[in-house]
Structure 1
Amino acid sequence: MNVKEYLSQAMWLDRIINNKLQQLDSLKCLAQKVTASYSLDKVSSSKSRSPMENSIVKIIDLEHEIDEDIDNLVELKRKISKDIGSLDNMSYRLLLEMRYIGGQSWEDVASNIGYDVRTVFRIHGKALKEIEKIKMCQ
């Protein structure tokens, strides 16, 4: 994995979490539409779940998945922040933090720093080389 892929992991995991949160909202909406069956004629001894119970189990499982992903994201951002924080050049640090920790677009990074996008890309390339040197020494 190259340095850019390493730094981008947090952005991708954040997007995955957001997608799962949308799925969770969708499941909750569907669960509200599920009706319970109150048939007294059922004599089966199998322990099959009702549609409502199935929906709730799926929601709980997805919530646990999201919790694990959030824990992983927090740890990953901590590690990436530590690596970025080891840079001496403050503009490199700011740019990398805005992009890879804050998840900002290149246009937003350029606007917030006060550079044009091409300059941001040039600084980004230099910053990646510095991070690569640091990672090789570890």
Structure 2
Amino acid sequence: MKVKEYLGQAYRLDQRINSDIEELGKLREMSSSISSPTWEERVQTSRNTDAPFVRSVFKIMELEDKINAEIDNLVELKKQIRTVIDEVANTDERMVLRYRYIHNLTWEQIGDELHADRTTVYRWHNSAINHVTMPENPIKI
């Protein structure tokens, strides 16, 4: 695994968590809505005695467990990434990596924070990537 791939995992995992949270909101909305009655004839050999919202509640619980596990992974990954970034000697390079991979800022936002233009931020970033030492057991998402 290359350095950029390793550092970029936190952003992707964060996006996946946000997507799951959005899906959870939709499931909660669906579970509390009233379904319309069907007027067509249904033949059913075995009757389901559970209330209609029970399946939705189980799906919500499963998704909440998945989100909690992903959040735990994200916390551990960011902790490891912070340790890796803190080993970079140059302060500007370290701050570019921190803003980019911990705080998920855009290049323009990083430039504003560090009072530097985009090319300087790119230069610091490329130099920082060369100075990063990968951990022995990197977390892979």
CA contact (8 A) 2:84 2:135 kept: no
* Pairing 1:124–2:139 present: no
Alignment root-mean-square deviation, CA = 2.2
* Pairing 1:93–2:94 present: yes
> Greater share of helix residues, 1 or 2?
1
User: Which structure 1 segments of 5+ residues have no match?
Assistant: 38-43
Could you give the per-residue CA deviations for residues 42-92 of structure 1, whole angstroms, max 9, x where no partner exists? xx7766644210000000000000000000000000000000001111111
Q: Scaled by the length of structure 1, what TM-score is found?
A: 0.86
> Taking every aligned residue pair, what percent have the same amino acid on both sides?
36
Q: What secondary structure does 1:54 align onto?
A: helix
Structure 1's 47 and 86: CA in aligned 2 closer, same or farther, altered over 3 A?
Answer: same
User: Which structure 2 segments of 5+ residues have no match?
Assistant: 38-44
Partner in structure 1 of residue 81 of structure 2: 80
| Structure 1 segments (4+ residues) deviating >3 Å | 44-50
Q: Scaled by the length of structure 2, what TM-score is found?
A: 0.84
Aligned residues, how many? 130
Which amino acid counterpart does residue 28 of structure 1 have in structure 2? Answer: R
User: C-alpha separation between the residues in 2 aligned to 1:110 and 1:51?
Assistant: 53
Aligned-pair CA distance for 1:118: 1.3
Structure 1's 137 and 126: CA in aligned 2 closer, same or farther, altered over 3 A?
Answer: farther
Q: Which has the higher contact order (CA 8 A, sep 6+)?
A: 2
CA contact (8 A) 1:34 1:51 kept: no
